Amino acid sequence: MFKKIIAVTALALVSFGMQAQNTVPVYLDDSKPMKDRVEDALKKMTTEEKIAMIHAQSKFSSPGVPRLGIPDNWMTDGPHGIRPEVLWDEWSQAKWTNDSCIAFPALTALSATWNKDLALLYGTSIGEEARYRNKNVLLGPGVNIYRSPLNGRNFEYMGEDPYLTSKMVVPYIKGVQSNGVAACVKHFALNNQETNRHSVNVVVDDRALYEIYLPAFKAAVQEGGTWAIMGSYNKYKGQQACHNEYLLNDILKGEWGFEGVVVADWGGAHNTKQAIFNGLDMEFGSWTDGLAWGKSNAYDNYYLAAPYLDMIKKGEVGTKELDEKVRRVLRLSFLTTMNKNRPWGSFGTEAHALAGRKIAEEGIVLLKNKNNVLPIDLAKTKKIAVIGENAIKMMTVGGGSSSLKAKYEISPLEGLKKRVGTQAQVVYARGYVGDVSSDYNGVASGQDLSEKRTAEELTVEALKVAKDADIVIFVGGLNKSDFQDSEGNDRKGLELPYNQDKLIAQLAKVNKNLVFVNISGNAVAMPWVNEVSGIVQGWFLGTEAGNALAAVLVGDVNPSGKLTFTFPVKLTDNGAHATSTFPGGDEVVYKEGLFVGYRWAEKEKIKPLFPFGHGLSYTTFQYGKVTADKKQMAASDQITFSVKVKNTGTRDGQEVVELYITDIKSSLPRPVKELKGFEKVSLKAGEEKNVSFTVDKTALSFFDDKKHAWVAEPGAFEAIIGASSADIKGKVSFELK
């Protein structure tokens, strides 16, 4: 009892912000260096307390040290909103009435903004939501590279380019962690498919590994300062990624100097000895021998629980590795739950909803706009036909672990009706039936999408509604059901599901003013692309989805989003499918190497449906001559490229100016060009601004797998300025001495 009183008193000193006295243990004194606090707490812990701290005690929590006043750690999905509570020992919903969150746009939409300030806003807002719910680890963001358009989990990630992803993830992390909540960047590494995800062994050459698949994680560690990293399910070099000698010890903690916690993805641990020695720090969700899903009191049987303790007691292993794991977990606690200056956060607020709407509006991409069919001119429009199940279907639910119980969700139909009001008639026809389910991962949407009419009857109605409308908005694409944009399985093909392609082609014949709004986190085939007037990439936009879409469709917001992955015409235009290496079997070989996305298309001279970086506007931009401040640079030097960009239209707008670098001659194969800079610039009608990019030799370097080092070879280079990877506005030559 006396020990308990001391612990509670010490914790109270922290809780009420009292000045640390000499009687306060070092670990509770936040004026002391972090290293000293960690070592002081560590030496006070028993071996049993240390073991308890490195594995789960419930579905989403791990123990602290009650005796020492160190709180539990509480994790939460996910990268797009704070997951509703589940029961302590089960996956079933706890059915709280106060855990309905703001659903933010999926990370594909965030990255499509190409706006680093919005990445910071996103991280700060979602971090506030996590903090209010007293979570201290947010299981996100996801930064795995878009290798194939069939990966079911692509919607959770930030596209195909490592540079863009790196620059967008850093402010997200800083925003989250400003709330005393750890970002847990995932999934490290090479988790680029859902098929056979728990056991597939990824074979990839070192150049592709270091140049394509690792940069965003490295930036998260060295620039973002992330406090946690989540391992992935797959294998690399025959070892599970959650306890992988090469990925975790050699690269993450060795080469990059990561000081944070490595968290196993739920069920990602498979072996006690490997978990001890190969870099795993915290184990969650394991499915150990003899256990079934949801079995109570399973946690002592986790790989890093009783089996580890038994090995220590028998003298089979020492405690050096255990102490290192606990040091990292203690550091996490001191940065989050033990930080007396940690803000309180806020949850489900209007400010967060508006932040999500702003991100959604800037992330929407206008892909095609023939004859300026958009924006909708309400002064000349009497009837708007909205067709498609995705115009009414809730998209904040589903998708796997990122499924959310949103406080509310505005559908595209609802948003358009609200915005148009009495200015025009808005009529709706479903057109097709997709998924009528209403319960995803335990989150019930409450929608009744059951349909008694036949497909033929729905088609007849859609064509009738479309025929006499001034404009038709078809809201289709994918959804977050299994085998679409969803964790657990990959898509089965590039085409649209539910016979949408046939319906779109029929609608185009009865109304030339047809706009296709693609709700998805993935590229889709568009065999009717030349038959429709407008195409909008609408993503999964969260709570304010309908309002954001309506604002762009009617022109309240000038679209400024750009694609972060290539839309191929057909599957074999993608490198992973051209080399027949997706998804593989027990093993998947990345034969395309570093030629991912636009790198593959340009190497093979394939014209995509829509290129990386593409996105139109309701105004026009003119680029001036690209200049360099010098023609030569030394390896220790920098060089600045500049271009003037002018808004030559009649509307205010934003343009993403993209910088690519070409190595004219290299000793190793290199892509035709690679993104090495981007800036989003706001321009009023008629306004001109100068946009500059300063780069150093890192922008010119490649990874030499034989030297195991980054190399910038002397020689000739080109700096290329484009409005997309295919829309080149100018270039300038320079030389690395």
Q: For 86-115, write each residue's pLDDT tens digit.
A: 999 888 899 999 999 999 999 999 999 999
In this structure, the answer to whether residues 83 and 174 fall within a common structural domain is yes
Has residue 149 got a pLDDT over 80? yes
CATH classification at residue 440? 3.40.50.1700
pLDDT at 533: 98
Candidate list 265, 485, 490, 573, residue with the active-site label:
265
Q: Tell me how far apart the alpha carbons of residues 132 and 407 are, in angstroms, rounded to a whole number.
A: 15
Task: Tell me the CATH number at 299.
Answer: 3.20.20.300
Give the 3-state secondary structure of residue 736: strand
pLDDT of 7 higher than 50:
no
Strand-pairing partners, residue 477, are: 519
**Radius of gyration of the chain, Cα coordinates, nearest whole angstrom:** 26
In the predicted structure, residue 253 carries a pLDDT above the cut 50: yes
Q: In Å, what is the CA distance from 123 to each residue of 189, 232, 563, 588? A: 22, 22, 21, 33
Structural domain contains residue 298: yes
Regarding whether 259 and 175 lie in a shared domain, the answer is yes
Q: What is the mean pLDDT of residues 701-710?
A: 97
Q: Do the strands 534-537 and 514-519 form a parallel or antiparallel pair, or are they unpaired? A: parallel
Among residues 512, 534, 559, which one ends one of the domains? 559
| Rounded CA separation 640/228 (Å) | 35
Amino acid at residue number 679: E
Task: Identify the residue whose tokens are 């997309």.
Answer: 724
Assess if residue 254 is contained within a domain.
Answer: yes
Q: Is the pLDDT of residue 225 over 70?
A: yes
Q: In this predicted structure, which of 20-29, 57-66, 709-718 has the lowest mean pLDDT?
A: 20-29
Say which residue, 546 or 300, is predicted with more confidence. Answer: 546
Same domain, 166 and 305: yes
pLDDT in tens, 427-444: 999 999 999 988 887 788
What is the model's pLDDT at position 288?
Answer: 63
Same domain, 329 and 363: no
pLDDT at residue 17 greater than cutoff 80: no
Query: Helical H runs in 340-411?
Result: 350-363
Q: What is the pLDDT of residue 295?
A: 54
Average pLDDT of span 223-248: 98
Domain count, the chain: 3
Q: Are residues 34 and 158 in the same domain?
A: yes
Burial 186-219 (b: 16+ CB within 10 A, else e): bbbbbbbbbbbbeebbbbbeebbbbbbbbbbbbb
Terminal C-alpha separation, the chain: 72
CA–CA distance, 550 with 543 (Å, rounded to integer): 14
| Main-chain dihedrals φ then ψ at residue 341, nearest 5 degrees | -95, 10
Give the β-pairing of 639-647 and 621-623.
antiparallel
Query: Is residue 10 scored above 50 in pLDDT?
Result: no
697 close to 634: Cβ distance less than 8 angstroms: no
Q: Is 727 one of the annotated active-site residues of the chain? A: no
Residues 6+ apart with CB under 8 A from 133: 76, 82, 99, 345, 347
Which range marks the domain in which residue 670 is found? 621-736
The answer, yes or no, to whether residue 586 has pLDDT greater than 70, is: yes
User: Does residue 657 lie in a domain region?
Assistant: yes
C-alpha span between 205 and 190 (Å, rounded) = 12
Amino acid in position 582: F
Cα 71 from chain centre: 29
Indicate the residue among 283, 302, 335 that finishes a domain: 335
Q: Is the predicted pLDDT of residue 382 greater than 80, yes or no? A: yes
Q: Are residues 363 and 331 in the same domain?
A: no
Q: Residue 389's pLDDT is what?
A: 98
| Predicted local confidence at residue 22, as pLDDT | 58
609 falls within a domain: no
CB 398 within 8 A of CB 439: no
Give a yes or no: residue 611 inside a domain: no
Is the same domain home to 397 and 494? Answer: yes
Q: Is the pLDDT of residue 16 over 50?
A: no
3-state helix, strand and coil shares in percent for the chain, rounded to the nearest 5: 30, 20, 50
Q: Does 370 lie in the same domain as 313?
A: no
583 lies in some domain: no
**pLDDT at 296 (0 to 100):** 55
* pLDDT for residue 289: 55
Judge if 531 and 649 occupy the same domain: no
Tell me whether residue 589 is in a domain: no
Q: Classify 95 as helix, strand or coil.
A: coil
pLDDT surpassing 70 at residue 635: yes
Share of the chain above pLDDT 70, in %: 96
- Taking CA 566 as the corner, what is the angle to CA 359 and CA 473, rounded to the nearest 5 degrees? 60
- Say whether both 48 and 117 belong to one domain: yes
Helices and strands of the chain, counted as H and E runs: 18, 29
Are 330 and 355 contained in the same domain? no
pLDDT range class, residue 14, cuts 50, 70, 90 = very low
For 121-143, write each residue's pLDDT tens digit. 999 999 999 999 999 999 999 99
Q: List, for residues 408-422, the tens digit of each pLDDT value.
A: 999 999 999 999 999
Q: Is the pLDDT of residue 19 over 50?
A: no
Domain assignment present for 368: yes
- Strands, E, within 648-727: which ranges? 653-663, 674-683, 688-695, 702-704, 709-711, 715-722
Question: Which two tokens mark 486?
Answer: 């969803």
Residues in CB range of 543: below 8 A, 6 or more apart: 102, 103, 104, 353, 356, 357, 396, 406, 407, 408, 409, 410
Both 692 and 726 in one domain: the answer is: yes
Long-range contacts of 250-257 (CB under 8 A, 24+ apart): 251/214, 252/188, 252/217, 252/221, 252/279, 253/279, 256/218, 256/221, 256/222, 257/221, 257/222
What DSSP state is assigned to residue 250?
Answer: I
The closest of 552, 641, 91 to 361, measured between CA atoms, is 552
Q: What is the DSSP letter of 136?
A: S
CA 504 from chain centre, in angstroms, equals 30
Tell whether the model's pLDDT for residue 57 goes beyond 90.
yes
- pTM for this structure? 0.95
Of the residues 307, 335, 363, which one is the last residue of a structural domain?
335
